[in-house]
Structure formats: C-alpha cells, structure tokens
Structure 1
Amino acid sequence: MAESPITPPTTSPFDDYLTAWQRYADFSGRACRREYWYFMLFNILISLGLSFIDAVIGLGNPEVGMGLLSGLYGLSILLPSLAYAARRLHDSGRSGWWLLLLFVPLLGPLVILLFTLLDSEAGSNRYGANPKGIDATSP
C-alpha cells in the first residue's frame, strides 16, 4: 500500500498569528494544533520582547511583574487568545466552555494544556469541517 505524501502547510507561521487578529472575537469554527501553537509562540516572543523594552526604558514595575507595554499587549491578546483556545477545543470535539477549567487552580490549566495538545477530530464535527482537510474515511 502506497502512503500518501505529506503536504506542506499553505500558510506561514506568522499568518497563523495574523489569523487570530482577523478573527479576534470569533469563537466559532475550528483551529488546528499548528495554528494555535504558532499563535502562542508569537505571543510569548512578543511578550518577552516588550518586557525587555519595558525594563530598558524604565516602564517595568517589579511589584506587578510587568511593564506598561507588556501589560497593554497582555490585555490586547486576551480576547483573541480565548477565541483561539475555544476554536482549538472545538477541533478536538469539545465545547469552548471547557475553558472555565482555567479557574481551577493547577489542575484546570493542565487539563486545557492536554486538550490543546491533542490531535484534531477526523472529519467534520458539530463545529465545522476539519481545518487540516482530513476526512473521517481517509486511511
């Protein structure tokens, strides 16, 4: 049996980050693992860069643990992060309401982390078509 070749992604990692801003309040649909984790990677890198700038120009507050620029960025990515996380949960067949587990100390964030690491549900589910284009009947 011949194996099907793996097709490379059609978007760049930065496109995945920009998608979050284009759909910043869209809690419907699905987001594959790649999209979600590239979004998270760019958020971490930008946050670290802004924290460094805050420290260099004296905008950092050691009592709070962040500065003006990193704090404003953190507020600005709150809604897109929640929307992307909900779409990621949809991709594995779970409701976005599972995000409420984030309020359970220690265990809740670990469960959400596990859910975001799981692969997509094959084929379409109640949240839409598989973003990877994989049909449930594919071998």
Structure 2
Amino acid sequence: MFDWYYKVILNYTVFSGRARRLEYWYFTLVNVLVNLVMAIIDRLIGLVVHIENFGFFGMIYALFIMIPSIAVTVRRLHDSGRTGWWALIALVPIIGIVVLLYFLVQDSEEGSNQYGANPKA
C-alpha cells in the first residue's frame, strides 16, 4: 500500500502515461489516513484556525501533496482513455464530482492507447 503512495510521490511531475486503479486508490487511501493524523495532531497542539477549521500541519501537507494528487488523477484518466482535462469537471458542483468519480473507478482501457501501454501488462 505504501509502495503505491511512494511511487506517486516520486512521479509527482509526470502528467503523461497511465496509472492503474490500485495506484490511484491506494494513494488516496494513504492521503485520507495522513490527513486524519494531521487533523488529530493539529487539534491536540491547538494549531487549528477556528474560522476555516484548518490546521497548520494539515495545510502544509495539503500544499505538499497537491501536485502529486493532480498528476496521479491525470494519469488515472489517461488509463481509462480520457484526457486529463476531464479532472476539471470536479469544479461543477455535485454532478461534476460524481462524474469524475465514475471515470476514476472505471477499469483500464485494454491494450495500449494514445497515452501509453497498459500498466497492467
């Protein structure tokens, strides 16, 4: 599980190619766990801004992980045969996130596509 997370961090500037579902969803799982730990630490230390409910360590981690998250999302969309620009559909309230989630859970496109070879092969 942490191997997938580490792989995404190492490839944080790679917006080309394809990412398997395992890579994307294990990365997302570790992100959720790290965010929970950061939120607990921020609350225990008292570093939470009460208006926005953000903590110092949580904000630092969010800034650290922003580019790798975008990169792995783009590669995941490439794996299902879509352009990375589809990630912007999440900006449409409610329905956009549902559509993006549908794209992200789909299986890989069989064989090679315009974004590269199938990573399952």
TM-score range, shorter chain: over 0.9
Residue in 1 that maps onto 2:62: 74
Residue in 1 that maps onto 2:38: 50
Q: Report the Cα offset of residue 118 of structure 1.
A: 0.4
Residue in 2 that maps onto 1:125: 113
Between Structure 1 and Structure 2, how many residues are aligned? 121
**Alignment deviations for residues 67-119 of structure 1 (CA, whole Å, 9 cap, x no partner):** 00001101111110000000000000000010111111111111111100000
Structure 1 position 17 matched with structure 2 position 5: yes
2: CA distance between counterparts of 1:32 and 1:97? 18
Unpaired runs of at least 5, structure 1: 1-12, 134-139
CA-based RMSD of the aligned residues comes to 0.7
1: CA distance between counterparts of 2:13 and 2:59? 20
Q: Report the AA paired with residue 48 of structure 1.
A: L
Of Structure 1 and Structure 2, the greater helix share is in 2
1: CA distance between counterparts of 2:65 and 2:96? 20
Q: Report the AA paired with residue 118 of structure 2.
A: N
Unpaired runs of at least 5, structure 2: none
Structure 1 residues 1-139: aligned runs within 5 Å: 13-133=1-121
Q: Report the AA paired with residue 73 of structure 1.
A: Y
**Alignment deviations for residues 6-32 of structure 1 (CA, whole Å, 9 cap, x no partner):** xxxxxxx11100011111021000000
2: CA distance between counterparts of 1:24 and 1:112? 20
Q: Report the AA paired with residue 100 of structure 1.
A: L
2: CA distance between counterparts of 1:117 and 1:65? 30
The runs of at least 4 consecutive aligned structure 1 residues that moved more than 2 Å come to: none
Structure with bigger RCO (C-alpha 8 Å, 6+ apart): 2
